[in-house]
Structures are given as structure tokens and as C-alpha cells.
Amino acid sequence: MSVLDDDMPSAAFPTRYGMFRIYAFKEGSMEHLVLVRGDVSGARALPVRIHSQCITGDALGSLRCDCGVQLADALSYLGSQEAGMLFYMGHEGRGIGLYHKIQAYALQDGGADTVEANAQLGFAPDMRSYRVVASVLRRFGVRSVRLITNNPDKVQDLVETGVDVAERIPLVIPCNMHNAGYLRTKKEKMNHILG
């Protein structure tokens, strides 16, 4: 079923970053959220962040990744804008799920990087797709976006679905002793632009 055929329940969503409206939508059995700030209908060059769920980083404060800090920085930035959107996608562990992500952590403890760990578990380095985001953007009438990302695959995926990506806004997070290797792998093996 297309997201365009689904009901998108919504509610007012006050946050420490400002006032948003929160919407839920489904993609098959996967559930996603989008936080909308201001009037986005017909918007051009709208700031948009597509953030994949990371329970360990977003909720538990893991230092193994940069996810939680990226989420907070993106929400802070969007809260300072008149309008914007943050997609919170249910793509835990780049799409492999929480259980397999913890298995990958164990392999990383043994010396594998994130790409190698996924391969050892039988997964591609990144299992995510952002095509459903394009459907939601069209539903809201967004004409073009300024995508808040370091990941060129997100830009390419949206462009391939007809989304006009007017600009890429970098979201660079300083490394720490626990995530330096993770960030190096993102840069060297996944072509992330980390500045």
C-alpha cells in the first residue's frame, strides 16, 4: 500500500526545540514519523532532515555513533527556522534491525568495521531506501528541499524519485574516541562527506 493511500494521524508536538506537528505513516510493516514545522505547502528550498532510527544513539546516548548528536543538532536547526521537516525513519541499524545491529556491535568489538560487520551477518552495508520520503514530500506539496545530510546516497535516492534537492546542508559532528573508526568507515567506505 502506498503512503498516499494511508491515513497519516497527526498531533501538535511541542518540543524543547520548538513547536512541530507530528505525523505517523507506514511503509509496509515499517512505521515512520515526520515532524513538520510551520507551513510547508508549496515550499521551495525547505530544510529537511531524513534521520534513521537509532535507539542506542538517539535514546540511550551511545558514543559509538554520531546519530544522537546529529538528531539533536538537526532538530535545533529546524526549530530555528520558520518551516522545515524532520523524517524519523524506522531504519534501525541502516535497515538491519536492532537485534542484528547489536550482533554487528559484537563483531565490531572483535575488530570489524560497520561495513564488514554487516557483510559478516549477510547484509549489504546499507539496506535503507528513502523513496517513501518522496511520496510524503509530494503529499505535503513541497517543491524543493535543502537536505540536511552528509550522506550522498540520500541525495541521489531523492533525486532519482523526482525530488528537487536544491542544496545539501552538512551536519558534521566532532568525533570522539569511541566513534572515530565508525566515522572513518562512513567517509572511506560509504562516501559520506564529513568535512
- pLDDT, residue 193, reads 74
Q: Is the pLDDT of residue 26 over 90?
A: yes
pTM over 0.75? The answer is yes
Average pLDDT over residues 155-178: 90
Name the more confident of 182 and 61.
61
Cα radius of gyration (the chain): 16
First to last CA, the chain: 39
Q: What is the Cα–Cα distance from 103 to 139, expressed in whole angstroms? A: 37
3-state SS assignment for residue 46:
strand
Q: In which order are the strands placed within the sheet that holds 46-52?
A: 10-15, 18-27, 30-37, 84-89, 46-52, 144-148, 164-169
Respond yes or no: is residue 168 known to be catalytic.
no
| Average pLDDT in the chain | 90
Instruction: List the one residue out of 90, 94, 72, 95 whose CA is nearest residue 148.
Output: 72
CA 155 from centre of chain: 12
Average pLDDT over residues 150-157: 90
Out of 58, 113, 126, 157, pick the active-site residue.
126
Out of 21, 128, 138, 143, pick the active-site residue.
128
Q: Is the pLDDT of residue 3 over 70?
A: no
Domains identified in the chain and CATH numbers: 9-91+128-190 (3.40.50.10990)
Average pLDDT over residues 111-128: 90
Q: Sorting pLDDT into bands at 50, 70 and 90, what band is 45?
A: very high
Q: Is the pLDDT of residue 4 over 50?
A: no
Respond yes or no: is residue 128 known to be catalytic.
yes
Instruction: List the one residue out of 177, 185, 171, 157 whose CA is nearest residue 67.
Output: 171
- pLDDT, residue 1, reads 32
Integer CA distances (angstroms), 86 to 70, 106, 113, in order: 12, 31, 28
Q: Sorting pLDDT into bands at 50, 70 and 90, what band is 25?
A: very high
Contact between residue 125 and residue 114 where contact means Cβ atoms under 8 Å apart: yes
Q: Is the pLDDT of residue 184 over 80?
A: no
